């Protein structure tokens, strides 16, 4: 298939996915878009929002529209790593022998919904680390590859913090996007009422299978990026590094740590997806800026002063975008 046809297919698929999800999920367009961008970018998503905003529904619906294996893990404080990864169990073979067999955990699926991920202990949470980054798990002394594609869609609740364990920075960094799910608007809420308080049940169909998804993910990576756009993404990330020559003032004031290189990778990759989704063949500054919050907000570590003053990472990112010039000429001038 030619590149042009692949691009056309990408757009078609993207639109179809949006349409199918839209059948179930009302509103939250930005969240849906971002989730799809992360999907085609091959990254994991952390959805944060108060209960009842449709986080789980979104992921579940995504599992339904994608012709992929789907598993859901409800994270609780007593959840153990083996409950996620799997464990060796003594099994009786057909010829009557007993032997240890590895029983795969729910992580062995294409799409994993990690619901309320922050309720699990750090020990359990860290079981996800290798899976998310290396797309493999080590269990029972053996290295086991996860199937491609592998996505983790985690949700967490910002309130009701008792008995929760904040995700470690290392794990947060492994998420492609952190999306903040907001309240629906009046119209959206009305539509939710109409759909959920009647006998109507939305039916969704499979839109995308594994092979096509992998193809499209490969296609996305081929989207060309101009050097100055790539440089802009790099400079954005460098500007978040406090106490460095490239840092902007707000980073020096409110950040303890800036974004990792994964942040820059995310910016570029997500930019490519967004460009293709918007019918372009190249990444623009606007693409980078549009996904900057989702890509960087969980990678910036605020200092005590910021916490005390109620400064969020989104504030910092806004200011960084404002202060970092788009072109090198502007920097030199």
Residues forming the site for another protein (CB under 8 A): 2-4, 7, 222-229, 275, 280-287, 326-327, 329
In the complex, what is the shortest distance from the CB of residue 325 to another protein, in angstroms, rounded to a whole number?
A: 11
Residue 168 vs residues 176, 178, 257, 299: alpha-carbon distances, Å: 15, 14, 14, 11
Confirm if 38 and 44 have CB atoms less than 8 A apart: yes
Q: In angstroms, what is the C-alpha Rg of the chain?
A: 21
In the complex, what is the shortest distance from the CB of residue 290 to another protein, in angstroms, rounded to a whole number?
A: 11
Query: Using H for helix, E for strand and C for coil, what is the string for 229-242?
Result: HHHHHHHHHHHCCC
In the complex, what is the shortest distance from the CB of residue 317 to another protein, in angstroms, rounded to a whole number?
A: 21
Nearer to another protein, 219 or 264 (CB): 219
| 279 phi, psi to nearest 5 deg | 85, 20
Q: Is 166 helix (H, G, I), strand (E, B) or coil?
A: coil
In the complex, what is the shortest distance from the CB of residue 274 to another protein, in angstroms, rounded to a whole number?
A: 11
Nearer to another protein, 77 or 224 (CB): 224
In the complex, what is the shortest distance from the CB of residue 281 to another protein, in angstroms, rounded to a whole number?
A: 5
Residue 118 vs residues 121, 169, 260: alpha-carbon distances, Å: 8, 12, 22
Nearer to another protein, 121 or 230 (CB): 230
In the complex, what is the shortest distance from the CB of residue 139 to another protein, in angstroms, rounded to a whole number?
A: 40
DSSP code string of 289-320: HHHHHHHHTTT-EE-HHHHHHT--HHHHHHHH
Nearer to another protein, 185 or 327 (CB): 327
Q: Using omega within 30 degrees of 0 as the cis cutoff, is the peptide bond preceding 65 cis?
A: no
Give CA–CA dist 147/41, Å, rounded. Answer: 16
Nearer to another protein, 8 or 147 (CB): 8
Nearer to another protein, 100 or 281 (CB): 281
């Amino acid at each position: 298939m030619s590149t042009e046809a692949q691009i056309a297919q990408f757009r078609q698929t993207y639109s179809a996915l949006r349409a199918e999800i839209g059948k179930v999920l009302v509103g939250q367009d930005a969240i849906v878009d971002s989730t799809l961008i992360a999907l085609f970018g091959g990254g994991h998503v952390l959805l944060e929002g108060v209960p009842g905003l449709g986080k789980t529904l979104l992921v579940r619906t995504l599992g339904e529209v994608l012709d992929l294996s789907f598993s859901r893990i409800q994270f609780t404080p007593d959840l153990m790593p083996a409950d996620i990864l799997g464990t060796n169990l003594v099994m009786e073979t057909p010829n009557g022998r007993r032997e240890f067999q590895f029983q795969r955990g729910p992580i062995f699926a294409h799409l994993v919904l990690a619901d309320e991920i922050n309720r699990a202990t750090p020990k359990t949470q860290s079981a996800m680390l290798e899976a998310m980054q290396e797309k493999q798990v080590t269990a029972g002394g053996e290295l086991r590859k996860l199937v491609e594609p592998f996505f983790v869609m985690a949700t967490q609740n910002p309130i009701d913090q008792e008995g929760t364990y904040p995700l470690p920075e290392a794990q947060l960094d492994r998420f492609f996007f952190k999306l903040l799910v907001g309240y629906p608007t009046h119209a959206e809420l009305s539509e939710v009422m109409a759909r959920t308080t009647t006998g109507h049940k939305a039916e969704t169909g499979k839109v995308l299978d594994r092979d096509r998804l992998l193809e499209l993910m490969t296609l996305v990576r081929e989207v060309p990026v101009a050097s100055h756009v790539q440089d802009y993404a790099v400079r954005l990330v460098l500007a978040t590094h406090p106490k460095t020559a490239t840092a902007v003032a707000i980073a020096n004031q409110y950040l303890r740590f800036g974004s990792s290189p994964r942040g820059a990778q995310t910016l570029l990759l997500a930019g490519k997806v967004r460009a293709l989704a918007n019918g372009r063949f190249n990444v623009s500054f606007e693409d980078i800026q549009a996904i900057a919050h989702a890509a960087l907000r969980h990678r910036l570590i605020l200092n005590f002063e910021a916490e005390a003053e109620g400064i969020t990472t989104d504030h910092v990112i806004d200011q960084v975008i404002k202060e970092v010039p788009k072109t090198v000429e502007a920097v030199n001038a």
